[in-house]
Structure 1
């Protein structure tokens, strides 16, 4: 099958004519996975964060460039845009939640673990002390769900409690700093304008600060420059296309905003030490 783009859904396998401004959806793992022989092919969601709770069984979880095998009780949090797929052991039980990005506003600040969990992603076992609560809340959400396109305040409050049940209580939240806020806004701008290849000065102007201030912020918070952050994000998106589609190098370069495929190849090799064609030819062929 020729596939030049990564499949993108609101809910897996469904084409959304219109995306609700705010939504929160829950279903059992079996509801959709059992229809696909317990395997969900690589795809992504541009309009939702996804959370999986596995209560019994096991799953092989692939997210971008990493693959993990997890045993229940466990969870996976998939950020907006990440390419991911699942292969479940037959009869695995659990829940799949999809929520609009606006849910992130429930975080108390840039240092809130909830925000980090849902924007950076995470996966792993659910602590024994948290597992009964996470399972109970998931079942309550399934029973409460009415119109997922307009979730009730109670539904959203329970969903927040569920997400917070997945976090490590031993990691204390820290107070917001000006750098945290500035860096969060910078990341948002990068996502919106990734393929435009704007210079650092343009981003600094949008943030109302100088280029030097933006550079200092990135170095303090991330130990990298703004340019390195932008380039690493471009590289990640290019690797997703090379890994999960049949697009040619020329098509990938064009989609990433490179007018010259040769320049894209040099860019890719400079950051990875490999040519993009080498990485693409090493991938298993898809039928």
Structure 2
């Protein structure tokens, strides 16, 4: 989402301003929400699970390099073998194994025929279920991970995958139970040492930036503040974001603010004034203008109460 023309008045704080490669001329790296489908921005609490065979069998068990700009993905293999590529890393793993692919990472898979397992896709907002910076789940979702599922955890992981698939078949939209079980599934996967993550050094800085954004989103820190803590310049951080995510750091921060705003509007009873305050905006009117500029809609249009026919007086 572009930021051209945003009001100069800032919120509280400040912002400184062996895989087949698809033959594509305009964009050599395809972006998908789900592989093979048109990219679209998902609902704030987007979550999806499917079997590996459901999609991979259609592509002769090979998923060409691509990326997801709106979801983090966990792949769980219960039977078979997979050659896994994530950016500069290439690994071959035997079941039972797993891979967690961070947002924006270029990845692809080559499965042995008839491989069994599941693919879980989760919105960026899912990362907020992690605790502080020491939470292993935060590290796994932002830096990625891959490895063997311990035999002691294998049955639990498989059970959770089957339960998630059953819940999804009953409800079209993610339910609290689905998200809770998805968290239990991610937390059942073994963490990795810092040097064993799936991301190269440049992407590790990007993941560090994402992690800082999650922890300090409501403080509206400047780009320089983030760059300083990552040990890079503003220019370097901008270059990394443009290269990996095709956006600027400020665009990423603003998109994350909008995502959180949508979650609060859709799924809570908070008023628009309360949503603005929760997200660190001292002026609710500015928040409403910011929201409309980013989404093309007033906050009131996305308020759960207004969709149900209610009426709420607010700056939206």
Aligned partner of 1:184 among 212, 230, 235: 212
Quick check: 2:47–2:122 contact (8 Å CA) kept in 1? Answer: yes
Query: 1:24, 1:149 within 8 Å by CA — same for their partners in 2?
Result: no
Verify the 8 A CA contact 2:128 2:214 in the aligned structure 1.
no
- Deviation for aligned residue 1:76: 0.3
Alignment of 1:135-174 (within 5 A): 135-146=158-169, 150-168=173-191
Q: 2:97 is matched with which residue: 51, 54, 74?
A: 74
For residues 169 and 68 of structure 1, the distance between their equivalents in structure 2, rounded to whole angstroms, comes to 15
The superposition leaves residues 7-61 of structure 1 with CA deviations (integer Å, 9 ceiling, x where unpaired) of: 1111111115562222110110000000100000111111111000000110000
User: Match for 2:152 among 108, 118, 129?
Assistant: 129
Q: What secondary structure does 1:207 align onto?
A: coil
The equivalent residue for 2:229 is 217
* TM-score normalised by L of structure 2: 0.58
Q: Deviations over 1:224-279 (max 9, x none)?
A: 33458527725963xx9xxxxxxxxxxxxxx799xxxxxxxxxxxxxxxxxxxxxx
- In the superposition, relative to structure 1, how do residues 105 and 147 fare at CA in structure 2: closer, same or farther (>3 Å)? farther
**Cross-structure match for 1:194:** none
Q: Could you tell me which residue of structure 2 aligns to residue 233 of structure 1?
A: 240
1:149 is displaced (CA, Å) by 5.8
Gaps of 5+ in 2: 1-22, 195-207, 249-316
Partner Cα distance (1:17, 1:170) in 2: 34
CA distance change for structure 1 residues 40 and 169 in 2, over 3 Å: closer, same or farther? closer
1:100 to 109, 113, 123: 123
Number of aligned residue pairs:
211
| Corresponding residue of 1:84 | 107
Of 60, 71, 74, the match for 2:83? 60
The alpha-carbon distance between structure 1 residues 136 and 214, as it changes in their structure 2 partners (threshold 3 A), is closer
Task: Flag structure 1 segments of 5+ consecutive residues without an equivalent.
Answer: 172-179, 190-204, 219-223, 241-254, 258-287
Which of 39, 45, 63 is the matching residue for 1:22?
A: 45
3-state secondary structure, aligned to 1:225? coil
Asked if structure 1 preserves the Cα contact closer than 8 Å seen for 2:142 and 2:211, the reply is no
2:90 is paired with a residue of what secondary structure?
Answer: strand
CA distance in 2, matches of 1:120, 1:92: 26
Contact 1:182–1:207, Cα closer than 8 Å, also in 2: no
Find the aligned partners of 1:8 and 1:94 in 2 and give their Cα distance: 23
Q: 1:187 to 1:61 in 2, by over 3 A?
A: farther
CA distance 1:164–1:21, change in 2 (3 Å)? same
TM-score (norm 1): 0.64
- Hey, what's the Cα distance between the residues in 1 that align with 2:238 and 2:39? 31
Give distance in 2, aligned partners of 1:215 and 1:19.
Answer: 29
